[in-house]
Amino acid sequence: MPSFETQGQVLLQPFTQVGFDYEITICSSSTANDGFIPYGTTVSSVNVIAYDKDEEVVTGELIHGTPTISENVITTPLKYPETSGDGRYKLTFQLTLSDSSKVEADFDRVVARNS
């Protein structure tokens, strides 16, 4: 099951600063396998790391501010990476759940384009 309900890609252009929402899916029951995190858990905290196409960390360039969590929706404030520029980027979400377990989710559909 995909970890996010988000469809498509995120397109960042120069001067773009936008909060983008990523919804973490939850299994519908204790025996179901239809979500990313177990039934009865929630996302307690998140650390978001941004990478460029060469797997170099560019968190400070791509993320402006602190990601927030509300009802398993992570709002991540994104901006166009002025130094790294055009290209494809990946976000890695390191999640701590309400039962203290840890999981990781990746979103590799962030595209920066100056056109």
Q: What is the pLDDT of residues 18-35, one digit of tens each?
A: 999 999 999 999 999 999
pTM: 0.89
Contact 76, 90 (CB under 8 A): no
* CATH 2.60.40 is the classification of domain 10-112: yes
Annotated domain spans of the chain: 10-112
Q: Where are the alpha helices (DSSP H) in the chain?
A: 59-62
Tens of each residue's pLDDT in the chain, 115 residues: 345 555 578 889 998 899 999 999 999 999 999 999 999 999 999 999 999 999 999 999 999 999 999 999 999 999 999 999 999 999 999 999 999 999 999 999 999 999 7
